[in-house]
């Protein structure tokens, strides 16, 4: 199926809901939301939440085509910008220097900001043998208490961003029906949000 045929299928599904309400939806809008839908479904597949749509082997083949391992990436002040093609970081290994020794160790994602108090939370504290990192302000950041150790470099394994859908795209995913449905859902949510924002404010005074 081409991108143009995908657009046609999405329009058919929208017209089944209300042919007048979605008659002016643009091809470019459908492809834009289709790309967002593809990202969402890819993340769901990675989390094992779409196994019912196809055999696990087929989905693993799809994901394998999106997995990339980076070269060594130098850090500055224990942080580096997230590469533009990253959809999801699956694994990080870190070159750490501590007590005059340097070694590669596994990193771990933290979601609670590390405390820099005298008695930091042991569950969020970062250690030389497993430094914690956070995704903050477009960076991969290792919030290290000064003087503990230094993170020099990282290597990351990650899912790359799927290609943007174009009219000339070849769409042969094992979850094409779900991709069309998710695209319709995103379009409906966006249109509903626009309608709510355009409604006049009614004074209650």
How far, in Å, CA of 9 to CA of 20, rounded?
17
Cα angle 183-185-190, degrees, rounded to a multiple of 5: 95
Does the pTM surpass 0.85? The reply is no
pLDDT over 60 at 116, yes or no: no
**Ranges of each domain in the chain:** 3-65+162-196, 68-160
**Who contacts 15 (Cβ-Cβ below 8 Å, separation ≥6)?**
22, 23
Phi, psi of 134 (to 5 degrees): -135, 155
Q: Which residues of 112-122 are buried (b: 16+ CB within 10 A; e: fewer)?
A: eebeeeeeeee
How far, in Å, CA of 43 to CA of 88, rounded?
8
Q: What pLDDT score was predicted for residue 77?
A: 86
Element at 19 (helix H, strand E): none
Give 23's pLDDT tier (boundaries 50, 70, 90): confident
**17-21, 50-54, 65-69, 133-137, range with greatest mean pLDDT:** 65-69
For tokens 């108090």, the residue is: 117
Q: Which of 35-39, 85-89, 156-160, 193-197 has the lowest mean pLDDT?
A: 193-197
How far, in Å, CA of 76 to CA of 72, rounded?
13
For tokens 């929208």, the residue is: 14
Give 124's pLDDT tier (boundaries 50, 70, 90): low
Q: Model confidence over 153-165: pLDDT tens digits?
A: 999 999 999 999 9
**Who contacts 166 (Cβ-Cβ below 8 Å, separation ≥6)?**
3, 31
For tokens 């000064």, the residue is: 146
pLDDT over 80 at 150, yes or no: yes
**Who contacts 111 (Cβ-Cβ below 8 Å, separation ≥6)?**
134
Q: Model confidence over 28-39: pLDDT tens digits?
A: 999 999 999 999
How far, in Å, CA of 131 to CA of 25, rounded?
48
Q: What pLDDT score was predicted for residue 92?
A: 96
Q: Is 153 exposed, middle or buried (0-12, 13-18, 19+ CB in 10 A)?
A: middle
Among candidate residues 157, 140, 152, the one with its CA nearest the CA of residue 81: 140
Q: Which of 85-99, 138-152, 157-171, 172-186 has the lowest mean pLDDT?
A: 138-152
Give 16's pLDDT tier (boundaries 50, 70, 90): confident
Q: 53 versus 88: which is more confidently predicted?
A: 88
Q: Model confidence over 44-76: pLDDT tens digits?
A: 999 887 766 777 888 889 999 999 999 999 999
Average per-residue pLDDT in the chain?
85
């Amino acid at each position: 199926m081409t991108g143009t045929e995908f657009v046609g299928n999405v329009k058919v599904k929208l017209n089944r809901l209300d042919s007048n309400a979605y008659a002016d939806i643009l091809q470019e809008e459908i492809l834009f939301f289709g790309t967002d839908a593809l990202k969402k479904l890819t993340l769901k597949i990675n989390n094992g939440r779409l196994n019912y749509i196809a055999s696990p082997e087929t989905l693993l083949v799809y994901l394998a085509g999106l997995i990339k391992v980076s070269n060594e990436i130098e850090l500055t002040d224990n942080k580096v910008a997230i590469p533009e093609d990253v959809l999801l970081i699956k694994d990080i290994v870190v070159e750490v220097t501590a007590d005059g020794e340097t070694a590669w160790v596994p990193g771990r994602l933290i979601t609670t900001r590390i405390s820099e108090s005298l008695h930091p939370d042991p569950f969020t504290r970062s250690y030389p043998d497993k430094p914690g990192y956070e995704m903050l302000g477009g960076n991969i950041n290792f919030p290290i208490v000064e003087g503990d150790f230094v993170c020099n470099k990282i290597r990351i394994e990650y899912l790359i961003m799927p290609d943007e859908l174009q009219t000339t795209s070849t769409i042969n995913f094992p979850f094409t029906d779900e991709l069309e449905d998710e695209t319709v859902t995103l379009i409906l949510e966006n249109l509903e949000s626009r309608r709510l924002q355009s409604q006049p404010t009614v004074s209650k005074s």
